[in-house]
């Protein structure tokens, strides 16, 4: 009887062992979702990528704004040089004047100074531009004119 009992126990243990193996095989072959660590890793990768993208966009916007400002300020300075060279604006040597103008619906201020050069009848014109009346007048353009 002891042998029968032992054999019955072995069959039960063997059946339970097979059932457990069957459950483990099903778990591995049929995953039902992501683990928490996988979700957190994916979210951190997305957060890093979005941060880098926003930084790149911000830098692009700032660079575009600065290029526009430099271009328009150069146009304002060129307009000032043309006005002085054509004698539409009279400036005596060593005199400095501040003028204002509107370019592309923006108000700009420019400061002009005319000075002598070592060459006879050649004057140096220095124009500096600022979007503010009080400055700073950063963008500077130098030109020359013949003044008999």
Contact in structure between 93 and 126 (CB atoms under 8 Å)? no
The model's pLDDT over 99-109, given as tens digits with 9 standing for 90+, comes to 999 998 999 99
Give pLDDT, residue 28. 59
Tell me the fold of 45-148. Answer: 3.30.1300
Half-sphere exposure (CA, 13 Å, Cβ side) for 16? 6
Give pLDDT, residue 25. 61
Where are the chain's structural domains? 45-148
User: At 140, which helix (H) or strand (E)?
Assistant: strand 139-146
> How far apart, in Å, are the Cα atoms of 145 and each of 87, 93, 136?
10, 12, 26
Residue 102 gets the label, from left (phi > 0), alpha (psi -120 to 50) or beta, of beta
Residue ranges, the chain, pLDDT below 70: 1, 6, 23-31
d(C-alpha 36, C-alpha 84), whole Å = 72
Give pLDDT, residue 138. 81
């Amino acid at each position: 009887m002891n042998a029968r009992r032992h054999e019955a126990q072995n069959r039960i243990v063997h059946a339970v062992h097979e059932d457990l193996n069957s459950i483990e095989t099903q778990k591995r072959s049929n995953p039902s979702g992501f683990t928490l660590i996988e979700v957190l890793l994916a979210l951190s990768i997305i957060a890093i990528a979005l941060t880098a993208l926003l930084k790149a966009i911000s830098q692009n916007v700032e660079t575009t704004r600065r290029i526009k400002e430099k271009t328009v300020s150069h146009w304002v300075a060129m307009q000032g040089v043309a006005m002085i060279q054509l004698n539409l604006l009279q400036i005596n040597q060593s005199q400095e004047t501040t003028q204002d103008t509107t370019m592309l619906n923006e108000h700009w201020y420019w400061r002009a100074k005319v000075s002598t050069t070592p060459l006879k009848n050649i004057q140096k014109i220095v124009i500096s531009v600022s979007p503010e009346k009080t400055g700073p007048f950063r963008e500077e353009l130098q030109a020359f004119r013949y003044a008999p």
